[in-house]
């Protein structure tokens, strides 16, 4: 069979997954519906995406972060006066800003001075370009203008059909976005909640731009956010909730703008418009036999607070090495199913985060009362730190059972006496047994797993009191022990992930 894995969709999640699999020496085909990757919705300002801590760590762990243009902040697009008035917001929850000065980062003990930033911005187009380049370097076959229309699977293979061809592989991953053809063709249930509002992203010439305020504005009828003059995002709560290109006429969009801004704003010309909603749904299972889902194909929710891309890239980082080990026959039984076990609860949490925001943004007296309380709490140090931690994904932890408190966390980016950081050591996509002197016979412990696990005895500037750690290829700590307390459980943990080499 020519391909180990076929991926539907060359969005950021499909491309990143393709890179992960190809890094682990899998033969990968990506089928992409669009003939041309260029779209105004992937470019500044609509295409701007906030990348959170787990994404930045993942990109660093594959040496992709340096290639990406990720400004800390964009230049303020409005006047100097507007810039001076802009609060020093680090992010928002339901449109309520949290202040960088209020965040107490000592509450995040596993972040070190060498950690990658907590959040940066990137253009979707730039991210996709960097991932496409890397995929090409790794030998991924990307075919554009090939929409997946049907699929079939047997016990040991999949066949993927487009209008013009059929492709055979061992596994199929649907990364084909919110309206995933793979999800619809497979035996998946997409369960969740219906939307409460319609969102609009538009680029327009306004007859009198001064009628609308810059930035995010909550009104008694909804919300509008003017990121650049004429680039508007709107939420309308009282016009029904729908995702429909028929709603994108100048007349309709202007009526919505006037309603949500409580103004007489006039659109002189409408250049681009699209709609979105807060529909929140998640596949109940991420796997149906040889077919898996990742990214928006597996879960959708409102883009409030910018979580969807980060969630999807986290799926890809979690799935890639497990699927590759399954392809190569080195995965322990059940490893592939741990993808669902580990990622589904994280997806559920993000959906709830978006639902909570939609409720708080609804222009009703009840929601306004709740908003005032949440807003007060967010001005406190603990409140701002909690919200920032959730928005930036800092506290994210997989449930790997009762072990060391670090188990299931993203590994701190230790700076080692060898001159490397842990992030740099993970770039070959192998697991790492990092011995700070806490193991009795560390090298011998992973003998028989050399293709999967690299052993390194080293010292770090700040070892956080640890004796040793086993770090998975995705940068998650699988096992850790404190200095002088080797619990002797490492061999069992290794056997949970990999089969010994023959």
Ligand X SMILES: Cc1cc2nc3c(=O)[nH]c(=O)nc-3n(C[C@H](O)[C@H](O)[C@H](O)COP(=O)(O)OP(=O)(O)OC[C@H]3O[C@@H](n4cnc5c(N)ncnc54)[C@H](O)[C@@H]3O)c2cc1C
Q: Contact residues for ligand X (CB under 6 A)?
A: 8-14, 31-34, 49-50, 147-148, 175-177, 181, 201, 276, 295-296, 303, 306-310, 312
Q: Which is nearer to ligand X, 42 or 430 (CB)?
A: 42
Is there a contact between 363 and 220 (Cβ–Cβ < 8 Å)? Answer: yes
Q: Which is nearer to ligand X, 313 or 325 (CB)?
A: 313
In the block, residue with structure tokens 């966390």 = 409
Chain centroid to CA 406: how far? 22
Bond into 45 cis (ω within 30): yes
End-to-end CA distance of the chain: give it in Å, rounded.
24
| Minimum CB–partner distance for residue 26 and ligand X (Å) | 19
Burial track 372-411 (b if 16+ CB lie within 10 A, e otherwise) = eebbeebeeeebbbbbbbbbbbbebebebeebbebbbbbb
| Minimum CB–partner distance for residue 486 and ligand X (Å) | 39
How far apart are the C-alpha atoms of 339 and 325, rounded to whole Å?
A: 13
| Minimum CB–partner distance for residue 257 and ligand X (Å) | 16
Q: Which residues contact 400 (CB under 8 A, 6 or more apart)?
A: 407, 408, 476, 478
Q: Which is nearer to ligand X, 42 or 409 (CB)?
A: 42
| Minimum CB–partner distance for residue 69 and ligand X (Å) | 15
Q: Which is nearer to ligand X, 11 or 408 (CB)?
A: 11
Task: Kindly report the three-state secondary structure assignment for every residue of 361-413.
Answer: HCCCHHHHHHHHHHHHHHCCHHHHHHHHHHHCCCCCECCCCCCCCCCCEECCC
Cβ-based neighbour number of residue 495 at 10 Å:
12
| Minimum CB–partner distance for residue 247 and ligand X (Å) | 15
How far apart are the C-alpha atoms of 111 and 126, rounded to whole Å?
A: 27
| Minimum CB–partner distance for residue 327 and ligand X (Å) | 21
Q: Which is nearer to ligand X, 114 or 274 (CB)?
A: 274
Task: Specify the DSSP class assigned to residue 229.
Answer: T
| Minimum CB–partner distance for residue 33 and ligand X (Å) | 4
Q: Which is nearer to ligand X, 8 or 26 (CB)?
A: 8
Is there a contact between 48 and 123 (Cβ–Cβ < 8 Å)? Answer: yes
Q: Which is nearer to ligand X, 306 or 383 (CB)?
A: 306
Q: Which is nearer to ligand X, 182 or 325 (CB)?
A: 182
| Minimum CB–partner distance for residue 375 and ligand X (Å) | 22
Supply angle C-alpha 41, 277, 391, rounded to 5. 80
Is there a contact between 144 and 36 (Cβ–Cβ < 8 Å)? Answer: yes
State how far the alpha carbon of 258 is from the alpha carbons of 215, 224, 225, 269, 390, in Å: 16, 10, 13, 15, 34
How far apart are the C-alpha atoms of 343 and 199, rounded to whole Å?
A: 27
Cβ-based neighbour number of residue 428 at 10 Å:
12
User: Rg of the Cα trace of the chain?
Assistant: 24
| Minimum CB–partner distance for residue 485 and ligand X (Å) | 38
| Minimum CB–partner distance for residue 388 and ligand X (Å) | 15
Closest CA to 319 of 334, 335, 300: 335
Q: Which is nearer to ligand X, 279 or 409 (CB)?
A: 279
Q: Which is nearer to ligand X, 304 or 400 (CB)?
A: 304
Q: Which residues contact 440 (CB under 8 A, 6 or more apart)?
A: 486
| Minimum CB–partner distance for residue 377 and ligand X (Å) | 23
How far apart are the C-alpha atoms of 35 and 425, rounded to whole Å?
A: 37
Q: Which is nearer to ligand X, 310 or 463 (CB)?
A: 310
Q: Which is nearer to ligand X, 35 or 369 (CB)?
A: 35
| Minimum CB–partner distance for residue 496 and ligand X (Å) | 29
């Amino acid at each position: 069979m020519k391909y180990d894995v076929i991926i539907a969709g060359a969005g950021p999640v499909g491309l990143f997954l393709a890179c992960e699999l190809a890094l682990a020496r899998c033969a990968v085909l990506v089928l992409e519906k669009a003939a041309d990757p260029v779209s105004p919705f992937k470019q500044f300002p609509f295409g701007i995406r906030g990348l959170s801590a787990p994404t930045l760590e993942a990109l660093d762990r594959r040496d992709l972060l340096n290639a990406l243009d990720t400004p800390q902040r964009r230049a303020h697009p409005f006047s100097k006066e507007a810039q001076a008035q802009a609060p020093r917001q680090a992010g928002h929850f339901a449109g309520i800003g949290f202040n960088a000065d209020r965040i107490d980062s000592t509450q995040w003990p596993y972040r070190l001075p060498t950690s990658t930033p907590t959040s940066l911005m990137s253009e979707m187009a730039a991210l996709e370009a960097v991932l496409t380049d890397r995929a090409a370097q790794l030998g991924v076959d990307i075919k554009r203008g090939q929409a997946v229309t049907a699929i079939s699977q047997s016990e040991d293979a999949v066949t993927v059909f487009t209008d013009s061809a059929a492709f055979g592989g061992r596994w199929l991953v649907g990364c084909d976005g919110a309206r995933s053809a793979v999800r619809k063709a497979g035996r998946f249930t997409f369960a969740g909640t219906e939307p409460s509002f319609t969102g609009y992203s538009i680029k327009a010439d306004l007859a009198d731009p001064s009628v609308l305020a810059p930035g995010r504005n909550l009104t008694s009828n909804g919300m509008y956010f003017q990121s650049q003059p004429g680039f508007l995002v709107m939420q309308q709560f009282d016009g029904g909730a729908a995702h429909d290109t028929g709603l994108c006429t100048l007349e309709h969009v202007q009526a919505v703008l006037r309603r949500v801004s409580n103004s007489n704003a006039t659109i002189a010309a409408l250049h681009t418009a699209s709609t979105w909603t807060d529909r929140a749904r998640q596949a109940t299972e991420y796997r149906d036999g040889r077919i898996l889902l990742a990214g928006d194909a597996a879960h959708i929710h409102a883009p409030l607070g910018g979580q969807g891309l980060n969630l999807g890239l986290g799926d890809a980082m979690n799935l890639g090495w497990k699927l590759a080990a399954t392809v190569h026959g080195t995965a322990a039984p059940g490893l592939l199913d741990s993808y669902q076990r580990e990622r589904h609860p994280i997806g559920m949490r993000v959906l709830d985060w978006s639902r909570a925001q939609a409720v708080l943004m609804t222009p009703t007296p009840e929601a306004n009362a709740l908003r005032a309380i949440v807003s007060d709490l967010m001005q406190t140090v603990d409140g701002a730190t909690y919200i920032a931690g959730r928005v930036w994904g800092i506290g994210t932890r997989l449930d790997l059972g009762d072990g060391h408190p670090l188990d299931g966390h993203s590994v701190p980016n230790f700076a080692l006496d060898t001159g490397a950081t842990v992030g740099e050591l993970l770039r070959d996509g192998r697991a790492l047994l990092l011995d700070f002197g806490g193991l009795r016979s560390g090298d011998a412990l992973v003998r028989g797993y050399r293709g999967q696990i690299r052993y390194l005895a080293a010292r770090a500037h700040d070892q956080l009191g640890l004796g040793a750690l086993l770090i998975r290829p995705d940068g998650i700590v699988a096992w850790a022990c404190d200095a002088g307390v080797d619990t002797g459980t490492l061999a069992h943990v290794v056997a949970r992930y990999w089969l010994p080499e023959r």
